[in-house]
Amino acid sequence: MTAQCADLTGLMFATDTDTVDVARRLCSRCRFATRCLVLALVHDERAGVWGGFDAHQRNQIIRTIKARTKETT
């Protein structure tokens, strides 16, 4: 089994909007997407598309988790 992005590092770390959208669509067909996103969040990946989420979106997820954690403590 191979990830959809194997050998496409340039695509997954592109910064222009159109190419990031292409990367997201690739992730949407990837069987590893959930695991990939979780690993990116755990390792605080700051660049690239992981599990279909770009760095900005991952930051939003982390902020939401932190806010909700703060609410419950």
Contact set with ligand SF4 (CB under 6 A): 3-5, 12, 26-27, 30, 32-33, 36, 49-51
Amino acid identity of residue 46, one-letter, is: R
Dig out the tokens for 67 from the structure.
């806010």
- Residue with Cβ nearer ligand SF4 (14 or 49): 49
User: Cβ distance 54 to 24 under 8 Å?
Assistant: yes
In the complex with ligand SF4, which residue's Cβ is closer, 9 or 66?
Answer: 9
Residue 63 Cβ, how far from ligand SF4 at the closest point, in Å?
21
* 44 φψ region: left (φ > 0), alpha (ψ -120 to 50), beta (else): left
- Closest CB 49 distance from ligand SF4, rounded Å: 6
